[in-house]
Structure 1
Amino acid sequence: MAAASQKNKQKVPEGMIENAFSPKPLLKDPVSGQESIKEFVNTKIKQMKIKFTICCIPLMVLTILSCNKSDNQNALPDTSEAEFILQRADLPDYEQNIDHKALLQALGDRHGESMRTGEHIYSNTCVTCHGNMEEEGSLPTAFKFWSGAFKVGNDPYSIYQTLTRGHGAMPPQVNLTPVEKYDVIHYIRETFVAKENPDQYFEINEAYLAGLPAGTSMGPEPREYKPWAEVDYGNFLINTYELVDEDAPPRERSTGPVQPLPDEDFSEANFAYKGIAVRLDQGPGGVAAGRAWMMFDHDLMRMAGAWTGKGFIDWEAILFNEKHNISPRTIGKLHVENETGPGWAHPETGSFEDPRFQARDGRKFGPLPRDWAHFEGMYPFKDQLIMKYTVGKASILETFGLDSLDKQPVFTRTLNVIPAGGLLKMRVAKSETAVALTGEGASLTEENGYQVVSITSSSPVSIKIFLANAGVTGLQQWVRSRTPPASLEKFTRGGPARFPQVLKTNIIPGEQEGAFQVDILNPPFNSPWKNQLRLSGLDFFRDRNKAVVCAADGDVWLVEGFTENEQQLSWQRIASGLFQPLGIKVIDEEVFVTCRDQIVRLHDYNGDNEADFYESFNNDHQVTDHFHEFAMGLQADATGNLYYAKSARHAREALVPQHGTLIRVSPDGKKSSIIATGFRAANGVCLNPDGSFIVTDQEGHWNPMNRINWVEEGGFYGNMFGFDPPADSTDAGMEQPLVWVERERDRSPSELLWVDSEKWGPLNGKLLSFSYGYGKVYLVPFEEVDGQVQGGIVELPLPRFATGVMRGRFNPEDGHLYLCGLSAWGSTQPQLGGLYRIRMTDKPLHVPVGIEAQQDGVLLTFTEQLDEITARSADNYQVATWDLLRSRKYGSKHYNEQELQISEVELGSDGKSVKLKIPGIEPTWVMEINYQLKSGEGASLEGVVQNTIHQLGNVPS
């Protein structure tokens, strides 16, 4: 990039937490009661309620850019000018008193232990993105310690500062103690730097140690931090699970520098892609704290397995322990198992042959055809879960249970069946399993290696099936003393509240100067269920005082107090256990939630606000075991169609047609259709007034940079790893984006939203883009030239949010913008979850709201009048352009960088628009316009517009 353009780039704000939302010092936090945000941050870090991720983020923007080695290799480098994310005042108290000299000296005495600990940390977190010298990580742009040059400093203390405070795209790592930080630093230095990159190896001597900050503490004792395993998810949790016995061999995971990665051989694996794990034993803590479980697979209407143990699962997943390219496995003893295939025979043919879509690797995905079997939903009742589904025209309720025979677990399935003609045969378990049956109207036989229950009665049937390990004897005689099968209908009308506590949090009002003020609407971080509260969607009811908020960890919350009580919110947990909810919509006062496995409609039958029935409104989702295929966002059009975006597989070719698509669901939920393809990681969907859509996408393979797409039905948007891509892999073979978004502007755009509020004055009717990657909000000025939409992004003058921003809605009653966000995968922001309100003041805004690329230059239109002298001076603008290269490689460097000369600047008659006349201007992938002006009132006005030009428009006569 040209030097002038680089010089004037906007800096990432320092002190993001303290400077962003600091209220007056005496305003207390709603949960901790702390006297200031600074103390609040310290408390939350101590409580480990703020979590940071290494996955998908360069562990060291330690980092990608080169730096010159210090003339004095052993001197303590000056990092005071480094643009850290956290200021020192934002760190927990113990960080102010660390004895860095003692920690480094101790490495000599504990070299072996330190190297083992450091290797463990690196292998379980860092390697995912950074890889090693043999295998490239999942993020090819991540820093390579064995060949790159450190940016902040290559000495241990400087690296420690980057780990602790975060820098650039690297978030602070407060889940690591000081000892653990120096352990992983020691491992990286001795394994990679000293041996492979010796020019970057910093030799430690007494002079260096003497210059380190003095302290007396080693920090907290290291402990394994697993907040995901401590959450009370309720008595069930939906996810993709692999069912294995306790002696299962290590799983296969393909890696390598060449993409797409090869498919593993999972032909014999028992995956429940839409697995409902149900806890069976009694006790507090929910499914994660259990000792016995059964798994229902609602794609196939099968009981996939039953197991016991001292732990639920291994938590290997991106939204649990942040591992990529993996799904969680069961741990413990697998007593009963059914291999992957239909749980019930076809109601007309009696065949168990699987008819579903077969992928390239031979596996089959998606639900059974509706006329065969259909999952209708779940009724949670106290500690029970009742599944509702159909087989043919027969209606079935089923629940799981646990008993004991001679201290051996006996698993039970209770079924209430209303036959409606046709064959009803259900696979129960493999032939060697101990099985017994009670109840009338059904029989137990053996068929092709399985024990099968056949429903022989034409009247309603209640049966109970008992299953135990093959070694259990005497089951048939023992079941005679068991209680008869229960009627389940009484559990379908709504039960007592499972989460009766209504939690209160205070609203911290924003008092920032300028055009915007931001209120912090903290979620209840200290909930009795230890929720992580990674908020991923929100929407309002007709009563605008109320909204629903979903969280990626499986919860839905009813939140009240937005308009009627501006100082306090109430939070009621109304649903739990869902599979990665990432979108929510209220339609006719009914709540719809986008989950990875289905769109759920929640029903409250007894008026306590909690969901008594989780209706599977649509479950056409084709779910595989791949970690990356998130189902993002939820919108509805005027006729009731629903829309969400489905991500593709990272670094791999698609297995199913839905990978990397925009999907429409019919108003009755019975039909899904793909309306656009070629996305890589589409984070949500925006409906446009003209019936088109906007879908963002993330930098990666076949995506040289982040992109904001104006989507038309039938369009292909560039990811050649998608399912059945077009033959033409050139740029001409795809639809062009509205704008390519440079990673320095936004490393991960999420959802866009049209401003619909008169209180937002000059921005009303404009388009906003939310940044998951950097926790920012952007304005998206655009134009249409010969049918092609093109434009740019402009950062709004707001402080960075403490989370990545996921979704936003305007409240029609108060006219304010409400945002929710999270930090889970690939965000630089430190806090797990957050809810915010942006209020626009009557202060001037001073941002460009219009952009037009014309044959003789670029026209920018601002919200307010500009100072004539500074606006007319060409020296106050710098324009740079560069190209990108789209390929199967991850991302793209800059090509053909140019600094364009401005021959003249014309100020429009309205005093708000400037025409930058640029001789020889041409279409370009990326243009960046920096400006340093003054407003009409004399205020300093600096900023940057980053845009894309596909076509040059005509010059107005």
Structure 2
Amino acid sequence: MVTQRPVKTTVAILAFGIALIGLPLTGSNSSARGDDGGKEEDSYRLLSIAAPAAVTDSRSQHWKPSDDGVALEVSGIAPLDDTRIAVSIRKGEIWILDGVYDDDPDSKVTYHRFASALHEPLGLLKQDDALITAQRTEITAIRDLDGDLVADDYETLTNDWGVTGCYHEYAYGPKRDGQGNLWFTLNIGMGLKGQQLTRILPDAALGYRQAKWRGWGLQIGADGEAIPVCAGMRSPSGIGANAAGDMFYTDQQGNWVATNSLHHMRPGVFFHHPESLASMNQPGSPLSGIESVPDGLPLPEALQQFPQMRPPAVWFPYKKMGQSATDIVLDESGGSFGPFAGQLFVGEFTQASINRVFLEKVDGEYQGVCFPFRRGMASAVLRLAQGNDGSLFVGMTNRGWSSLGTASYGLQRLVWTGKTPFEILAMRAKPDGFELEFTSPVDPASAVNPSSYQMSSHTYLYQSTYGSDEVQQRSLPIQRAVVSDDGRKVRLYVDGLRPLFVHEINAAGIRNVDGQPLLHSQAHYTLNRIPTNQ
């Protein structure tokens, strides 16, 4: 089935576990301006492959897709070659799109349905001759055996987890780490009732009521076994590896989760949502011995009482840096996507945007900083994938929840124009402050002036209620600023650093040598550890 103007498809109402509180949820976010009013599109141009205007409200019980083509509620993206990508959609299909790298994609892209009859696929990965996706109840490898470009082999790689029938029991992935291992993540079930309670684990640890491995990150073993690695997840809709090949996931604000967060997945670690501990005593669990969970404490105190729990590598302060973090993609472009090679981009559902993350290791553990990157997508960003030319594909869908933007779903592509924006490239922790690195040399007069910067810190409550306000807030004076000889770095000496606190900086007074302000002047560093070495 190949078509250039594909027929309308009808889609049943589904839903994702997206956290939304107090957001104006209509209208466009297309202005895409930085903190200083500069235009993000000057450096990153947004091309729409398919983003038809919404015809009903995203939360409507009578939701309808657009009359314009396939309802591309993109739930997974897998680049194939220099002209094609594969996308999974929430309806339960996989489509092959050709011509997606064209600068005028609306008239050039062709669509071919490759697979159908899937159950809520929420990820897509090309591996050898297969496309692999996470369905609600299994990880499936899908192949075309006879060369007719239609799938005819659906192989179950693993289905070793529990499902009660709760709407919130999503499965995400898979993604591949640097060693070639396949990872996937499982949502917590929420509000279980009725027959769902007959499918939970019997005699579960600490009395929590969940199905097997809910709220866990897992690998797929060579024999198809689901290998539990780490626990404590609420709604881990994004996973991805960094440049070192280590695997991370994003979580979304809710009960036990103060705000959106990015976590390093590794064996035997617990993150924050304790209902995942229902599986703690299952064979193969790397966790044991947890007898109680603190509630209502500031995070640093909770971590002291709960030694198995590890803090996130990065907190995304609520609303300042989004409201529902989603997919993770590593910039592997080597510079063809601008100055951020080796950093992570993280999707943002509610604000229809993308954020950027720089990570470093301190005492062997990851921590880092998040920055705004690009706003103005047509709908909620659920999936990201870097194309063969370095550009960034953005898969969108907001049905059942809400987001900024004019569309209910679609596929867009971000292309670097060749113009490097003036940005904070990286922020590194020091024993007595931070080092800022910029994408171009700074004006020394503005950079050495402490009043060019404002800094504060805060932490969150670890609690069973929904989210957390910023607590224990404190302003931090900048004692002095020293500019490097090449003008690309500024060393800030700061009093009052606090471990396990988010340290926010606004460098609105900085200018580059051409007198331009930063496109985005704010950065949010999660200082889990204060380094002891310069």
Q: What TM-score results when the alignment is normalised by the length of structure 1?
A: 0.46
Residues 915, 31 of structure 1: alpha-carbon distance in 2 compared, 3 angstrom cutoff: farther
Equivalent residues in 2 for 1:772-811 (5 A)? 772-796=349-373, 798-811=374-387
- Measured in 1, the distance between the counterparts of 2:243 and 2:454 equals 35
Shift of 1:651: 5.9
Residues 921, 888 of structure 1: alpha-carbon distance in 2 compared, 3 angstrom cutoff: same
| Structural RMSD (CA) | 3.3
Shift of 1:596: 0.8
Partner of 2:221: 666
Residues 31, 934 of structure 1: alpha-carbon distance in 2 compared, 3 angstrom cutoff: farther
Letter in structure 2 aligned against 1:702 = W
Ranges of 4+ aligned residues in structure 1 off by more than 4 Å:
51-62, 87-90, 523-531, 563-566, 637-640
Partner of 2:266: 712
Letter in structure 1 aligned against 2:148 = D
- Measured in 2, the distance between the counterparts of 1:841 and 1:609 equals 35
Equivalent residues in 2 for 1:125-204 (5 A)? none
Q: Does 1:535 align with 2:71?
A: no
Q: Tell me if structure 2 keeps the 8 A contact 1:516–1:841.
A: yes
Q: Does 1:622 align with 2:198?
A: no
Describe the superposition over 1:169-218 as per-residue Cα deviations: whole angstroms up to 9, x where unpaired.
xxxxxxxxxxxxxxxxxxxxxxxxxxxxxxxxxxxxxxxxxxxxxxxxxx
- Measured in 1, the distance between the counterparts of 2:384 and 2:264 equals 19
Letter in structure 1 aligned against 2:44 = F
Partner secondary structure for residue 550 of structure 1: strand
Residues 85, 845 of structure 1: alpha-carbon distance in 2 compared, 3 angstrom cutoff: farther
Partner of 1:594: 134
Equivalent residues in 2 for 1:268-417 (5 A)? none
Q: Tell me if structure 1 keeps the 8 A contact 2:115–2:151.
A: yes
Equivalent residues in 2 for 1:294-693 (5 A)? 513-522=41-50, 532-541=71-80, 543-563=81-101, 567=105, 568-637=108-177, 641-650=181-190, 653-667=208-222, 670-693=224-247
Q: Tell me if structure 1 keeps the 8 A contact 2:250–2:327.
A: yes
Letter in structure 2 aligned against 1:938 = G
Partner secondary structure for residue 377 of structure 2: coil
Partner secondary structure for residue 763 of structure 1: coil
Partner secondary structure for residue 903 of structure 1: strand
Letter in structure 2 aligned against 1:648 = I
Shift of 1:547: 1.5
Q: Tell me if structure 2 keeps the 8 A contact 1:640–1:667.
A: no
Describe the superposition over 1:629-660 as per-residue Cα deviations: whole angstroms up to 9, x where unpaired.
21012213576542111111236744223100
Shift of 1:863: 1.4
Letter in structure 2 aligned against 1:951 = R
Residues 632, 54 of structure 1: alpha-carbon distance in 2 compared, 3 angstrom cutoff: closer
Partner of 2:284: none
Q: What TM-score results when the alignment is normalised by the length of structure 2?
A: 0.80
Q: Tell me if structure 2 keeps the 8 A contact 1:57–1:827.
A: no
- Measured in 2, the distance between the counterparts of 1:609 and 1:528 equals 26
Partner of 2:56: none
Residues 513, 735 of structure 1: alpha-carbon distance in 2 compared, 3 angstrom cutoff: closer
Q: Does 1:737 align with 2:325?
A: no
- Measured in 2, the distance between the counterparts of 1:532 and 1:636 equals 28
Partner secondary structure for residue 337 of structure 2: helix
Residues 620, 803 of structure 1: alpha-carbon distance in 2 compared, 3 angstrom cutoff: same
Asked which structure has the greater CA Rg, the reply is: 1
Letter in structure 1 aligned against 2:394 = L
Partner of 2:285: none
Partner of 1:727: 291
- Measured in 2, the distance between the counterparts of 1:514 and 1:742 equals 26
Letter in structure 2 aligned against 1:665 = I
Shift of 1:662: 0.8
Partner secondary structure for residue 257 of structure 2: coil
Q: Tell me if structure 2 keeps the 8 A contact 1:515–1:844.
A: yes
Partner secondary structure for residue 875 of structure 1: helix
Partner secondary structure for residue 721 of structure 1: helix
Residues 715, 691 of structure 1: alpha-carbon distance in 2 compared, 3 angstrom cutoff: farther
Out of 860, 873, 878, the residue aligned to residue 449 of structure 2 is: 873
Equivalent residues in 2 for 1:246-265 (5 A)? none
Out of 411, 416, 425, the residue aligned to residue 835 of structure 1 is: 411
Residues 649, 48 of structure 1: alpha-carbon distance in 2 compared, 3 angstrom cutoff: closer
Residues 868, 58 of structure 1: alpha-carbon distance in 2 compared, 3 angstrom cutoff: same
Out of 921, 941, 944, the residue aligned to residue 522 of structure 2 is: 944
Equivalent residues in 2 for 1:71-90 (5 A)? 86=27
Describe the superposition over 1:768-819 as per-residue Cα deviations: whole angstroms up to 9, x where unpaired.
22212322222211221112211110011x232112222222223x222222
Letter in structure 1 aligned against 2:475 = E
- Measured in 1, the distance between the counterparts of 2:175 and 2:378 equals 26
Describe the superposition over 1:21-72 as per-residue Cα deviations: whole angstroms up to 9, x where unpaired.
xxxxxxxxx979xxxxxxxxxxx9xx999x999996668547xxxxxxxxxx
Partner of 1:818: 393
Give identity over the alignment, percent: 24
- Measured in 2, the distance between the counterparts of 1:87 and 1:644 equals 33
Q: Does 1:845 align with 2:421?
A: yes
- By relative contact order (CA 8 Å, sep 6+), the higher-ranking structure is 2
Partner secondary structure for residue 162 of structure 2: coil
Partner of 1:483: none
Higher relative helix content: 1
Equivalent residues in 2 for 1:9-28 (5 A)? none
Letter in structure 1 aligned against 2:84 = K
Residues 607, 763 of structure 1: alpha-carbon distance in 2 compared, 3 angstrom cutoff: same
Shift of 1:718: 1.5
Partner secondary structure for residue 940 of structure 1: coil
Partner secondary structure for residue 376 of structure 2: coil
Letter in structure 2 aligned against 1:603 = R
Partner secondary structure for residue 256 of structure 2: coil
Residues 633, 939 of structure 1: alpha-carbon distance in 2 compared, 3 angstrom cutoff: same
Partner secondary structure for residue 445 of structure 2: helix
Describe the superposition over 1:326-381 as per-residue Cα deviations: whole angstroms up to 9, x where unpaired.
xxxxxxxxxxxxxxxxxxxxxxxxxxxxxxxxxxxxxxxxxxxxxxxxxxxxxxxx
Q: Tell me if structure 2 keeps the 8 A contact 1:907–1:913.
A: yes
Partner of 2:199: none
- Measured in 1, the distance between the counterparts of 2:514 and 2:14 equals 42
Describe the superposition over 1:401-439 as per-residue Cα deviations: whole angstroms up to 9, x where unpaired.
xxxxxxxxxxxxxxxxxxxxxxxxxxxxxxxxxxxxxxx
Shift of 1:826: 4.1
Shift of 1:727: 2.5
- Measured in 2, the distance between the counterparts of 1:908 and 1:639 equals 38
Partner of 1:213: none
- Measured in 1, the distance between the counterparts of 2:10 and 2:126 equals 33
Q: Tell me if structure 2 keeps the 8 A contact 1:635–1:686.
A: yes
Letter in structure 2 aligned against 1:736 = P
Residues 527, 821 of structure 1: alpha-carbon distance in 2 compared, 3 angstrom cutoff: closer
Q: Tell me if structure 2 keeps the 8 A contact 1:648–1:654.
A: no
Partner secondary structure for residue 946 of structure 1: strand
Residues 597, 857 of structure 1: alpha-carbon distance in 2 compared, 3 angstrom cutoff: same
Partner secondary structure for residue 339 of structure 2: helix
Shift of 1:915: 2.0
- Measured in 2, the distance between the counterparts of 1:897 and 1:88 equals 30
Q: Tell me if structure 2 keeps the 8 A contact 1:585–1:593.
A: yes
Q: Tell me if structure 1 keeps the 8 A contact 2:76–2:122.
A: yes
Shift of 1:615: 2.8
